[in-house]
Amino acid sequence: MDPDTNDIISFQELSLDKENELEELEEEDELEEYVTVGFLEKPKHPKFLLRHRFPSKTGGAPAWLDPLDLPTGKSSICDFCEEPLQFLLQIYAPISDKESTFHRMLYVFLCPSMICLLQNQYEQWKHREEDPRRSVKVFRCQLPRFNAFYSSEPPRRDGNDKPLIVGAALCSWCGTWKGEKVCSSCKRAPYCSKKHQARHWKSGHKIQCHQIIGNLETNSSSVLREKPPDKVACRLWPEYEMVIEDECAFDLEGSEDISCETSSLVPKHVTDDTYQFLLDKFEADDNKKSWASFQERISKCPSQVLRYSRDLMVNPLWPLSIGRPSLVNIPKCKYCNGSLCYEFQIMPQLLYYLGVKNDSDSLDWGVIVIYTCLASCESNVRYKEEFTWVQLYPTAPVT
Amino acid sequence: MAERGGGDRGGFGRGFGRGRGDRGRGDRGRGRRGGRRDEEEKWVPVTKLGRLVKEGKITSLEQIYLHSLPVKEHQIVDTLLGGRLKDEVMKIMPVQKQTRAGQRTRFKAFVVVGDSDGHVGLGVKCAKEVATAIRGAIILAKLSVVPVRRGFWGNKIGKPHTVPCKVTGKCGSVTVRLVPAPRGAGIVAARVPKKVLQFAGIEDVYTSSRGSTKTLGNFVKATFDCLMKTYGFLTPDLWLDTRFSKSPFQEYTDLLAKPTKASLIESTERVEA
């Protein structure tokens, strides 16, 4: 290699390369990003999804980590339609560095109404000071290894595991939120809100209430507490267990051999000059490019529903380029005022598994990205709210 | 695998964000996820349109064209057109870029897909390997499938076999003009547009081109543009007012809506039409 000519060539190329370098970085294979991916599977037994097994699951009722101090009041309802939020999924994401985060669960709730989601999309751009209203809420709960609720030894998985104490009563209609209010006639059925009490009354409690009062007079039985699971299941989203895999386990094995033996109409050595024009027509705008790279990335494992990475170098995988937050849009942690970092994102494949209908007003999202406190701070509030960002598909076709 | 005493690792059992140190690269294709074949075959739709197609609520591409819904997943076209879709690589072209360490060559693939019955698509993709470029171009071609209108030259006997009228398409300096031809004339065109027209399902046509047709990219794109225009041309048989129908995203809400609501929507649509 002749050093002089190389220097001259490289000197000239420096200017060319600067603008192309960015392009080149994008085109090169991404550096190995360590991302964990979640899949859905039918649980072998619903018992495995109870809270003392520390499950990661979707649908059904949440397995509250701290069974007593559940979120109440404003945090449990949609800020737009005032309906209690529905449980979407929870993941078990402990952090090994700190003692206080030995057990760590993240819960995602959202209002199933698309109208609220559209309004949420608008409000999420607002600054924290304006106290924006949200219809998607994420809660983080963490416990140290030695706590009052669970044994400090790992669950033995032999069917005999039990939590140390019984949790608070949950609403008889949704089985999700704390049942603070009680039915005024039988004084036994707990409810989380007036709306759920009214619905439960209409759909059967009216008849049962009298029976319960009758039972109470004869003998005191707390049978009511055991009922919720089968009756509420039909109203909530179908329950699945989330299985965790590493994304790199799906990398394609080797590349197919390069064969230039394909027949083409025009001989190969003829080159053209007007391809930039063609490129513009066929390939490009930003939205299409991000969609193409999104598709490529998920094609490794098409049935993924969740992507997780606490690595600071990893960016969320956005399907579109519009509607992404910039650094200004991501606020500071509500409790410790520290910065937030991307933790996980929920993919649209989940909608397919949940079996949501596909009408014009049914739930649909591009991606929901969750940012959590980098330090995973402690505070008196047991279930701390974290920041979510929803990216929806544009309703009007974007040219 | 360290189920007991996870003192320094945090948490019991399997959780997210654990094992950041070990990359688990040795566990390639483990157990239940090892069957990568079934993962590939099973398509999990990502968009609402995809979910509708997978359920089977949308049975033909025409329903999608009618409402101009953007098709973002190529599996939609695969499901709807099925095995009838054929593809052909028109050209593989090496393009080079000068870098400090020599030249970096990539391959640009042009692919045409079609079912020879009124649907064509064109895709262009550039990649480091030929196979990747071809695969990517096929996907892009499927995403760009458009309907082609066919008509008659003279008597309306049998099935439509030629373009309905004279149409012209332009790309760069190349203009391609398609002229209706009588049955039996065949496709009278150069090699490149002939292929595209065959995929479209046009049996007889006269063509005329102008400009630097040596540039294959522009030539193919001009023909494609021409075919797209066949449905944009207003002919006398389209003079009747169209009755608008509800888009697939609306159709199914009406099944659940009360009768009064449905009649309201229809009456407003009639006023619009």
How far apart are alpha carbons B220 and B202 in whole angstroms?
16
Once rounded to an integer, what is the mean pLDDT over residues B54-80?
A: 90
Query: Can you give the pLDDT at residue B133?
Result: 92
- Tell me how close the Cα of A48 comes to any Cα of chain B, in angstroms: 12
Query: Can you give the pLDDT at residue A259?
Result: 36
Residues of chain B positioned with their CB less than 8 A from the CB of A94: 10-11, 15, 17-18
Residues of chain B positioned with their CB less than 8 A from the CB of A56: 14-16
**Which mean pLDDT values do the consecutive 10-residue runs of chain A (399 residues) have?**
48 43 43 79 81 85 86 85 89 85 89 86 81 87 85 74 77 83 82 84 81 69 45 73 83 43 42 46 67 84 88 87 85 87 91 82 87 86 89 66
Once rounded to an integer, what is the mean pLDDT over residues B8-13?
A: 62
Tell me how crowded residue A221 is: count the other CB atoms within 10 A of its CB.
Answer: 11
Residues of chain B positioned with their CB less than 8 A from the CB of A248: 23-25
Residues of chain A positioned with their CB less than 8 A from the CB of B24: 246, 248-249
Kindly determine whether residue B172 and residue A245, on different chains, have CB atoms separated by under 8 Å: no
Q: Who contacts A392 (Cβ-Cβ below 8 Å, separation ≥6)? A: A117, A118, A121, A323, A364, A365, A366
Query: Can you give the pLDDT at residue A297?
Result: 86
How far apart are alpha carbons A250 and A301 in whole angstroms?
7
Q: What is the ipTM of this complex?
A: 0.74
Binned at pLDDT 50, 70 and 90, residue B194 comes out as: very high
Query: Can you give the pLDDT at residue A268?
Result: 40
Span B104-154, pLDDT tens digits: 999 999 999 999 999 999 999 999 999 999 999 999 999 999 999 999 999
Kindly determine whether residue A295 and residue B247, on different chains, have CB atoms separated by under 8 Å: no
Span A193-225, pLDDT tens digits: 888 888 888 888 888 888 777 776 665 544 444
Residues of chain B positioned with their CB less than 8 A from the CB of A295: 73
Q: What is the mean pLDDT of chain B?
A: 81
Tell whether A158 is within 8 A of chain B (Cβ): no
Once rounded to an integer, what is the mean pLDDT over residues B202-210?
A: 96
B:237-266 residues touching chain A, CB 8 A cutoff: 247, 249-250, 252-253, 256
> In percent, how much of chain A has pLDDT > 90?
7
Residues of chain B positioned with their CB less than 8 A from the CB of A92: 11, 13-16
What distances in angstroms separate CA B211 from CA B173, B179, B215, one per listed residue?
A: 5, 18, 9
How far apart are alpha carbons B129 and B156 in whole angstroms?
49
Phi, psi of A354 (to 5 degrees): -75, -15
Question: Between the ranges A163-177, B53-67, B253-267, where is the mean pLDDT highest?
Answer: B53-67
Q: In this structure, what token pair is assigned to residue A70?
A: 């559940």
How far apart are alpha carbons B225 and B218 in whole angstroms?
10
Q: Who contacts B255 (Cβ-Cβ below 8 Å, separation ≥6)? A: none
Tell whether A61 is within 8 A of chain B (Cβ): no
Cross-chain CB nearest to B249 (options A263, A273, A359): A359
Kindly determine whether residue B91 and residue A272, on different chains, have CB atoms separated by under 8 Å: no
Q: Which of A48, A26, A294 is nearest to A161 (CA)?
A: A48
Listed in order, strand segments (DSSP E) in chain A are 36-41, 57-58, 86-92, 103-110, 136-143, 181-182, 190-191, 240-246, 306-308, 340-346, 367-373, 384-391
How far apart are alpha carbons A110 and A117 in whole angstroms?
9
B:2-21 residues touching chain A, CB 8 A cutoff: 3-18, 20
Cα of A225 vs its chain's centroid, Å: 30
Q: What is the amino acid identity at position A150?
A: Y
